[in-house]
Amino acid sequence: MQDWPTTIADEDSLEEVLSRPDPALVTDLAAVPGDILVLGAAGKMGPTLCRLAKRADPSRRVIAVARWSEEGLRARMKSWGIECLAADLTDRAALAALPDAPNVVFMAARKFGSTGNEALTWAMNVLLPAMVAERWAASRIVFFSTGNVLPLVPVGSGGATEDTPPSPIGDYAASCLGRERVFQHAAASRGTPCFGIRLNYAIDLRYGVLHDIACKVRDGVPVPVTMGHANVIWQGDANAWTLRALRHASTDCPILNVTGPETVSVRQVAGAFAQRLGRDAMFNGSEAPDALLSNAARAFALFGYPRVPLARMLDWVAGWVAQGGRSLGKATKFEVRDGRF
Ligand SMILES: NC(=O)c1ccc[n+]([C@@H]2O[C@H](COP(=O)([O-])OP(=O)(O)OC[C@H]3O[C@@H](n4cnc5c(N)ncnc54)[C@H](OP(=O)(O)O)[C@@H]3O)[C@@H](O)[C@H]2O)c1
């Protein structure tokens, strides 16, 4: 049983907790020797994914690639022992100049702003994966996808499984299905071992479904409940499974749903935050009979259950927003039902 803190006071503590390795990760990484190259490493998940890999195996070279749009991030990651390279991945010459590595994690993607600039979204989510799959054809590649490729399913269904036929709504989701197909094709046609992480929704304390709901409750803003249910997973668990998936990359290109075990009720969570924050929760709309839900039973069978349970996440997020902890200001828009992001 992990000895988690009851509260998380600041971002240093948060990033320490997010990057705590467990024995299963150490074991699985030992089965995939060699450098780990992380493409698109400067977003919400990449920095602590890199740090997690480094802490799991301090002797390992972990190389993070991004354009480094966020000031100070590169220096912070260097202080964690991570090599940081600057490149625009859409530039073929820059891609060619990046190092070879036996292990690649592909994280770059485009979601918000897709409506109105669909062409760029398809370029980022389909063209770029094709370039990456070609450039690192001899590597193991773990790539991110999203539960958005799946249809809305009845709330009582337990979530869409990997056997549910994809049915993306809108250009963002369709382009993400395109990314899955590109890597499946690379695995089948070139023999590149691949693995897809179909994620919804990772959370830390600065962003995510729980953060968004907690801020609304704290600020007296009505919580929209038409998309009345969701799945969440602690970002540290999602990142650990992503690194462990390197071991399971294969020419079959498995693509697994990755999220927590609960069908989380937005209304219930808002009520839990109201109680913790001493506020009244207000609501907008009423629950639809269906929602964007995925069933991660196969991932649990492969990796075990997430280490951080929902109740712990609720405590941490409530404490964070109550103390005015930093928000990334990046709303998840989990309430969107028409695929327009
Ligand atoms: N977080 C979630 O809950 C969630 C849910 C479903 C799927 N996913 C997927 O999981 C992956 C990781 O999530 P995330 O939340 O960390 O994503 P993110 O915040 O969008 O981070 C991706 C990072 O990639 C870098 N990047 C973008 N374009 C680039 C380019 N042309 N060249 C080099 N670097 C580039 C960016 O950093 P720079 O601007 O510094 O280059 C960006 O911060 C993404 O593919 C995302 O779509 C995440």
| CATH code for the domain in which residue 251 is found | 3.40.50.720
CB proximity list for 278: less than 8 A, separation 6 or greater: none
Instruction: Kindly state whether residue 334 falls inside one of the protein's structural domains.
Output: no
CB 88 less than 6 A from any atom of ligand 1: yes
Name the residue at shortest CA distance from atom 34 of ligand 1.
Answer: 66
Instruction: Kindly state whether residue 135 falls inside one of the protein's structural domains.
Output: yes
User: Cα(221)–Cα(213) distance, rounded to whole angstroms?
Assistant: 9
Distance 45 CA to ligand 1 centre (A): 8
∠327-15-274 over CA atoms, to 5°?
45
Name the residue at shortest CA distance from atom 24 of ligand 1.
Answer: 40
CB 67 less than 6 A from any atom of ligand 1: yes
Distance 57 CA to ligand 1 centre (A): 24
Residue reference for tokens 């400067």:
42
Pocket test for ligand 1, best of 37, 38, 44, 49 (most atoms within 8 A of CB): 44
Instruction: Kindly state whether residue 70 falls inside one of the protein's structural domains.
Output: yes
pLDDT digit string (tens) for the chain, length 341 residues:
578 999 999 999 999 999 999 999 999 999 999 999 999 999 999 999 999 999 999 999 999 999 999 999 999 999 999 999 999 999 999 999 999 999 999 999 999 888 899 999 999 999 999 999 999 999 999 999 999 999 999 999 999 999 999 999 999 999 999 999 999 999 999 999 999 999 999 999 999 999 999 999 999 999 999 999 999 999 999 999 999 999 999 999 999 999 999 999 999 999 999 999 999 999 999 999 999 999 999 999 999 999 999 999 999 999 999 999 999 999 999 999 999 99
Instruction: Kindly state whether residue 265 falls inside one of the protein's structural domains.
Output: no
User: Cα(294)–Cα(242) distance, rounded to whole angstroms?
Assistant: 17
Q: How many domains does the chain have?
A: 1
Secondary structure class of 81 (helix, strand, coil): coil
Please report the atom of ligand 1 found closest to the CA of residue 90: 31
Pocket test for ligand 1, best of 15, 39, 45 (most atoms within 8 A of CB): 45
Instruction: Kindly state whether residue 281 falls inside one of the protein's structural domains.
Output: no
Instruction: Kindly state whether residue 2 falls inside one of the protein's structural domains.
Output: no
Domain that holds residue 46: 11-204+232-259+293-307
Distance 66 CA to ligand 1 centre (A): 9
Instruction: Kindly state whether residue 5 falls inside one of the protein's structural domains.
Output: no
Name the residue at shortest CA distance from atom 11 of ligand 1.
Answer: 107
CB 209 less than 6 A from any atom of ligand 1: no
Instruction: Kindly state whether residue 282 falls inside one of the protein's structural domains.
Output: no
User: Cα(172)–Cα(122) distance, rounded to whole angstroms?
Assistant: 8
